[in-house]
Chain A
Amino acid sequence: MKTLTHAQAAEQFISDGPRTDWHNDTLWFVRQKRDKAAHGLPEWEQLREWASQIKNHSLSNLDQYLIEFEKNAVANGVTVHWAANGEEHNRIVYDIIQKNNIRKIVKSKSMLTEECGMNEFLHAKGIDIVDTDLGERIVQFRKEAPSHIVLPAIHLKKKDVSDTFHEHLHSEKGNNDPQYLTEAARQHLREKFVESELAITGVNFAVAETGGFVVCTNEGNADMGTHAAKIHIACMGFEKVIPKAEHLAVFLRLLARSATGQPITTYSSHFQKPREGQQMHIVIVDNGRTKQLGRADFRNSLKCIRCAACFNTCPVYRRSGGHSYHTAVAGPIGSILNPNIDMRANADLPFASTLCGSCSNVCPVKINIHEQLWKWRQVLVAEGYVDTTKKIGLKGMAFVLAHPSVYRLAGRAGRAVMRLFPFVLNNKLNPWYKQREMPAPPKQSFRDWYIKNKKS
């Protein structure tokens, strides 16, 4: 099946008006909680600046910090693996599973494993993984992808969850009580935690000077998994490394406030070394990051700490839903990360924005997201990934606007200039006219008036 473009998928999403409004309002509520938390700290803008500088410095010295991190992690008794791409990452995880003859696996939230398509890869090999983040478990039951990197099931309502649990957990049909549904998930997941042999987690921050790493969750599911299992695999994109433990003081204050408006995540778990009898692995993944690091205009997108503040503030995301972005990481940040991974498949994403700039303003590490969206548009056009009708129209427009005499003539000749503007053609094929009236053409242009009344 052909993947819909963002615009097509968004149109489908919006066709359910009340659900769109609910999605929009719910995420706006999260944005407001973020505002409240940010405005509670007079030093907020200073923190953002520090976070941005620490990340810039880390990206400029990545080789050094990654080697330092590896050295210290190995000294702590951790096995460190390097994966050039998603395929290698999945293979490494698979080999560990095979070698230890594992059957029961739990996983807490990791956008990296989504990016690498790990669940699907392992499933094809007959290995099933239980996602233990509540939202992720819900979408996993439904065979859907997360629609938001922090709130994976935010596209679903209580009733959807109730139906899903009824089908998969045999909970009471029609019981939409959140307390009841959470309890059903809790009982189900407890069982999975207890019997698990291997736990996979993501990594929020990897600290070069200690070789330790931090995993942030609100549900404690990363800890439940790793405490019970005899093997812990932590998967991280290589940009997660920061120089020192003291830098966590900046990032942990920003992360949860930006994400949900909480002062800090309920669990900020520091992992340092395997406990006795436990194996601990870290898989460090490139998967296109080196290429992005080499693109001067886009490298600082790797500063991202995956808080999703840009999702919540984005007026387009709120009204089109995460699935319309057809990638593991949706939203504004996804729209500047994904073209790097596959320009053809993701050529529509940088255009799924009005360039309003709100994303750049909420970003806790000051990524200039909207400017990068603009720059990706230039790259995609230059590389030939934009469809030709758009190209011909804009070329014609560029010609007329570069030639004042043609422009004036076009304007006078029954305002043929209207053809320049996609929004003024009064017919059903014109997307402007579908739900909007066109501006009424006046008797004379400003220029005509000026020549008549002002020019002496």
Chain B
Amino acid sequence: MWPKANKNEHMKVGLFIPCYIDQFYPQIGIATLELLEKSGCDVSFPLNQTCCGQPMANSGFAALSKDCDKNFVANFRGFDYVVGPSGSCVLHLKEHLKDDQHPGEAEYIRQHVYELTEFMVDILKVDHLDVSFPHKVGLHTSCHGQRGLHVASMSELVAPEFSKPEKLLGMVKGLELSKPARQDECCGFGGTFCVFEEAVSVKMGKDRIAEHEANGVEYITGYDESCLMHLEGILKRDGSKIKAIHIAEILNGKA
């Protein structure tokens, strides 16, 4: 079932659970942990972790996130890899994590921090999953993971197509995957954009949902819970039957 399991045995993985997932979506943290453990990784969750610093930095306050960065490095140094179930948090760390007192360790983390699906495909080389999810599912391709981490190819570029989350979802029995007409348009979350530009943010979210609705999906999934949280907020308010679900929960088979 997990062919490369024994090969990953001595791979020390630091589990990075973004703050809002820790607080609001513990089941995604659990699914991520179990997925990594099933692959044979030696996983631990450093208890003093808080946040990647992105909410401050994207609002123009990167200068304020220094201590947050330091705390991150203190928690995650010494691991072979750092893995988290959120593309945009991981991208932020990759691009901006700094620690003047431990520059080498910060650099190591920047180079070895992975979003869950890219870690599963590129490092763990998962090629088979023994799980099923007999539902019609729409994939939301979140921007930061896609255009920043290259989790999937981009519709703007003239380049070969690929998608790591799609590859993994393709291994789930019974899952019928559909993509929205504008396959990689932003959902409108955008960090603090979601409140400071509330009208545009919600309109963008509604438009994404309408395309998934047109495909008749039961679930919208993705690798970035922040986008899904925003879409879920709209779905619930509008009384929709469509549910948002993080990809880790589907891949872990307990959803």
Contacting residues, chain A, for B155 (C-beta < 8 A): 35
Q: Among the listed A14, A358, A361, which residue makes an inter-chain contact with B186, where contact means beta carbons less than 8 Å apart?
A: A358
**Binary interface profile of B, 176-193, with partner A (CB < 8 Å = 1, else 0)?**
000000101110111111
Interface-centre pick from B61, B144, B196 (highest chain A CB count, 10 A): B61
Q: Among the listed B23, B63, B144, B200, which residue makes an inter-chain contact with A319, where contact means beta carbons less than 8 Å apart?
A: B200
Q: How many Å lie between the Cα of A199 and that of B189 in the bound state?
A: 47
Q: How many Å lie between the Cα of A407 and that of B196 in the bound state?
A: 24
**CB of A169 closer than 8 Å to a CB of B:** no
Contacting residues, chain B, for A398 (C-beta < 8 A): 53, 56, 61, 64-65, 67-68
Main secondary structure of the interface of B (DSSP, over half): helix
**CB of A124 closer than 8 Å to a CB of B:** no
**CB of A77 closer than 8 Å to a CB of B:** no
**CB of A126 closer than 8 Å to a CB of B:** no
Whole-angstrom distance between the Cβ of B54 and the nearest chain A Cβ: 10
**CB of B139 closer than 8 Å to a CB of A:** no
Contact B26 A449 (CB under 8 A): yes
Q: How many Å lie between the Cα of A430 and that of B195 in the bound state?
A: 8
Contact A394 B147 (CB under 8 A): no
Interface-centre pick from A378, A398, A454 (highest chain B CB count, 10 A): A398
Contact B158 A378 (CB under 8 A): no
Which chain B residues numbered 59 to 97 have a C-beta less than 8 Å away from chain A?
59-65, 67-68, 70-71
Contact A442 B71 (CB under 8 A): no
Contact A394 B58 (CB under 8 A): no
Contacting residues, chain A, for B182 (C-beta < 8 A): 28
Q: Among the listed B22, B185, B203, which residue makes an inter-chain contact with A446, where contact means beta carbons less than 8 Å apart?
A: B22
Contact A415 B60 (CB under 8 A): no
Whole-angstrom distance between the Cβ of A175 and the nearest chain B Cβ: 33
Contact B23 A381 (CB under 8 A): no
Whole-angstrom distance between the Cβ of A441 and the nearest chain B Cβ: 6
Q: Among the listed A6, A14, A400, which residue makes an inter-chain contact with B203, where contact means beta carbons less than 8 Å apart?
A: A14
Whole-angstrom distance between the Cβ of B156 and the nearest chain A Cβ: 4
Contacting residues, chain A, for B65 (C-beta < 8 A): 398, 401
Contact A352 B197 (CB under 8 A): yes
**Binary interface profile of B, 10-48, with partner A (CB < 8 Å = 1, else 0)?**
000000010111111111111001000000000001011
One of A40-48, A68-76, A145-153 at the interface: A40-48
Contact B199 A358 (CB under 8 A): no
- B contact residues vs A (CB 8 Å cutoff): 17, 19-30, 33, 45, 47-51, 53, 55-65, 67-68, 70-71, 143-144, 147-148, 154-159, 182, 184-186, 188-205, 207, 229-230, 232-234, 236-237
Known: A20-B203, A38-B158, A378-B61. 19 other contacts (CB 8 A): A11-B198, A24-B207, A45-B157, A320-B200, A352-B200, A353-B193, A354-B188, A355-B143, A361-B156, A377-B58, A378-B57, A378-B60, A395-B61, A395-B64, A400-B50, A423-B194, A436-B237, A437-B233, A447-B22
